[in-house]
Amino acid sequence: MKILSVIVPCYNEEAVILKTHQRLLAVLSKLVLFQFEIIYVNDGSTDNTLTYLEKIASEDKAIKILSFSRNFGHQPAISAGLAHCSGNIAIVIDADLQDPPELIPEMIQMWEKDFQVVYGKRRTRKEKGWFKLLLVKFFYRFINVLSDIEIPVNTGDFRLVDRRVIDILNMMPEKYRYVRGMVSWAGFKQCEILYDRDSRFAGDSKYPMKRLLKLAADGIFSFSLVPLRVASWIGASTALLSVIGIIYAFLNRVLTKNWVPGWTLLFIAVMFLGGVTLLVLGIIGEYIGRIYGEVKQRPLYLIESKTGFDQ
């Protein structure tokens, strides 16, 4: 019998986790041809999430728990679940019920048609904050302009991945992870399922603006060298403008016997060159910082405890 692994990252989800588990079981119990396991990854929750998860696991051997020593983030939590799952296929779904578990059978049907990746694509979103939604839409289009691979727009990490894709993701050691980009990079046959994304069932978003911007930066700098090329273009353009300015000042002196007048022009030139220099250094610094983080080879996450796994 084939095995389905469902990976659920959790961070302070005490208000919703029992409802999430109830809906997952209602769907998974109807899958006749699959044995399933649910891997809850407790990402350093500071509320009662782990207590609820341990109670759930004590009642069902199909429930497994990975508990981090602290909060390492959503992408490491997904990676931990993929590294510890035993399924022929795995489905990643958040605990907040914005992505409906009821789509799981349809995803499996597409996998049975020889698609190795089936991702949920949001047709509509019922989330709050128009500015945040606008930034998200802009980001997906912006990263596709910059990146050498195409990352589907209006998608998250809600997706099914085949064992071959899981094994490839587990071989990718990078610390600054953007899982949906890594899945697109892996290739294979991929398809989408459209759905309407609900608002959170309870609790607050675990992706405030600061974390969204960090995720966006990880996506851009992990899958594109275009920012470095832009820095080179800016430097070359600035150098060209400087040469033009020097030629202009020289000809003005030789032909008219006058110096280029005014401290204002000098002040603007210094500020412009300083700003461009800092911008270019910032772009280079982002790449160097990520190299520094990678060469230290610290583990992506630390697991404090495991429940339901064979020792």
- Render pLDDT for 208-253 as a digit per residue (tens, 0 to 9): 556 666 666 666 666 666 676 777 777 777 767 766 766 776 676 6
DSSP state of 109: H
Closest to 186 (Cα-Cα) out of 207, 158, 208, 164: 164
Closest to 26 (Cα-Cα) out of 42, 39, 38, 43: 38
Q: What is the model's pLDDT at position 40?
A: 93
CB-CB contact of 122 with 38 (8 Å): no
pLDDT over 90 for what percent of the chain?
A: 7
CB-CB contact of 196 with 123 (8 Å): yes
Q: What is the model's pLDDT at position 204?
A: 59
Q: What is the model's pLDDT at position 282?
A: 75
Phi, psi (degrees; rounded to nearest 5) at 197: -85, 125
CB-CB contact of 206 with 11 (8 Å): yes
| Mean pLDDT in order along the chain per 10 residues (311 residues) | 88 87 87 86 89 86 88 88 89 87 88 87 66 62 65 79 90 81 82 77 56 63 67 72 69 65 63 72 76 77 83 52
